[in-house]
Amino acid sequence: MTEQQTSAPYYLEGHLSPVPDETDATGLEVVGTLPAELDGRYLRNGPNPLAGQDGGHWFAGHGMIHGVRLRDGRAEWYRNRWVRTRKLEGAPFVRDDFTLDLAATPANTHVVRHGEKLLALCETGLPYRLTPELDTVGPEDFGGRLRTGMTAHPKEDPVSGELHFFGYGFTAPYLTHHRLSADGRLLESREVRVPGPTMMHDFALTERHVIWLDLPVVFDLALVGSGMPYRWDEGYGARLGVMERTGSAEVTWYAIDPCYVFHIGNAHEDADGRIVLDAVRYAPESFAALWSRVGGAADPAAAAAATGGGALHRWTLSPADGSVREERLDDRAVEFPTHDDARTGRAHRYLWTVSDDAVVKYDMRTGAARERALGAGDAPGEAVFVRAAGAHGEDEGWLLSLVSDRAAGPARLVVLNAADLSLQAEVRLPRHVPAGFHGSWIPEEPRG
């Protein structure tokens, strides 16, 4: 056998290598000055298979939450916990009678708080409710009303507080839109008609519309049991859909060039009623190389070299004449776009992204980009924006990024000034933290 064939898959090595246990540490070292205003928990989710396990794909590992508690300029603790799902206990997602166990999800993609509930998310199944200390309460189906999976990328309207999300399925209904009240009651579920089952990872919200991404990465029954059962299907086509946020589930579709989008930056309606959508776009060849790499390609170095990655793009959809315009905004390979959550569905000036070793800030008004390079051995995670109290500017606040070490050394939580990307502080963590997916800043709720 060749050396390539005997080595571990890419997603089990280096900065992606899982940790074998749960730990707690207190009184963490802080370099620099943590803003005293940061009173809460930074939480981040990601895949972490049990020791000796290999799910066949990076996306398939069990969910693990890593948390850092900040208060009064101190880093009080770090802890990590597996999300104790039915999948972790060994339950199959597809039962013997061919029905789905929506609680047998890895819950490994995101962690958010809505209303009083802290939820670990993964789009193939139900969310799992957690305590503030990261213990698992159990699956959450909102009083029995949620009968599909829940996307890992729900969108909370900053005015109404409603949470919009969707579930997709391997059998009809392939796509369902859901809406939660600000206090967490499931208000509405609507089937959205699409031709077949696809891997729809994200979507967008504007003040009046939901924006769908119906793209050519399709479910393939023949691939079940081999990691992630999806493949590129050029014949499926690629299109963006515009649907009213409530009421009718009719969708106006706009054909676009074949591509894939994992993550939306934001979307809004401009003064002329056009829909403006910013997202990280993968060309077909870039998606193929990435999918091979995170799926355990025999030669991950070759797969990495073959892709330029995803790049920031903008689509402008015109209901007046049915046209769509696509623009590439930058040549950098970036991912995990974030924005000020107070601007969700509204015109935004700034987006923050990460590249292989840097955090990148985009000014969408001027087209300028600013980059903060980290160390050559650093793998920065998604930069979560935390607005400063009383802020007037859209970039007044901080960015929190959990930075993994590519040699599997100890990680650190980096705090940057969101305006100029200057380093504010970093929290030294006591162990390796594998690179993961998405996180949230969970501010401490006032006592009363």
Residue 438 known to bind ligand: yes
Cβ contacts of residue 260 below 8 Å, gap of 6+?
A: 215, 216, 217, 232, 281, 282, 284, 287
Of 338, 347, 345, the closest CA to residue 158 belongs to: 345
Of 342, 344, 375, 370, the closest CA to residue 357 belongs to: 375
Q: Give the model's pLDDT for residue 100.
A: 85
Cα separation of 174 and 291, whole Å?
22
How many degrees, rounded to 5, is the angle at CA 290 between CA 429 and CA 218? Answer: 120
Residue 15 known to bind ligand: no
In a domain, 339, yes or no: yes
In a domain, 52, yes or no: yes
Residue 164 known to bind ligand: no
Q: Give the model's pLDDT for residue 4.
A: 41
Cα separation of 27 and 76, whole Å?
5
* 229 in Cβ contact with 56 (< 8 Å): no
In a domain, 305, yes or no: yes
In a domain, 448, yes or no: no
Q: Give the model's pLDDT for residue 109.
A: 98
Q: Give the model's pLDDT for residue 446.
A: 65
Per the structure, how many domains does the chain have? 1
Residue 153 known to bind ligand: yes
Q: Give the model's pLDDT for residue 448.
A: 43
pTM: 0.95
In a domain, 167, yes or no: yes
Q: Give the model's pLDDT for residue 302.
A: 52
Bridge pairing between strands 397-405 and 412-417: antiparallel
Q: Give the model's pLDDT for residue 95.
A: 81
- The residues of the chain scoring below 70 in pLDDT are 1-6, 298-308, 446-448
In a domain, 67, yes or no: yes
* CATH number, domain with residue 58: 2.120.10.30
Give the single-character DSSP code of 236.
Answer: G
pLDDT tens per residue across span 358-381: 999 999 999 999 999 999 899 999
Boundaries of domain holding 133: 3-443
Q: Give the model's pLDDT for residue 99.
A: 80
